[in-house]
Every structure is written in structure tokens, then in C-alpha cells.
Amino acid sequence: MSPEDAAFEAARQLDEVHTRAEARRRWQRPDDD
């Protein structure tokens, strides 16, 4: 695996974790509009 591939894979996993955290935060936010 080249350094570029490794960096891309790391960024993809990080983005996946962030997306999951963002979705969890949306679900847990109370509905008080």
C-alpha cells in the first residue's frame, strides 16, 4: 500500500467515524423547536 493509499484510507475511516458521530448527535438531540 502506497503512502497516498494509506492516507486516503485513514481519511476515509476518520470521515466515517465523524459521520456516525454526527448521526448519533442528531438522534440524541431533543426535539424542542
**Gap between the Cα atoms of 24 and 9, Å rounded:** 23
Can you give the pLDDT at residue 8?
A: 96
Task: Provide the CB-side half-sphere exposure for 11 (13 A, CA).
Answer: 6
Can you give the pLDDT at residue 1?
A: 81
Can you give the pLDDT at residue 30?
A: 64
Stated as kind and residue range, the H or E segment containing 22 is helix 3-28
Summarize pLDDT for 1-33 with one digit per residue, the tens: 899 999 999 999 999 999 999 999 988 876 665
Can you give the pLDDT at residue 32?
A: 60
The three cell numbers of residue 15 are: 470521515
The predicted model scores a pTM of 0.55
Can you give the pLDDT at residue 28?
A: 85
Can you give the pLDDT at residue 31?
A: 65
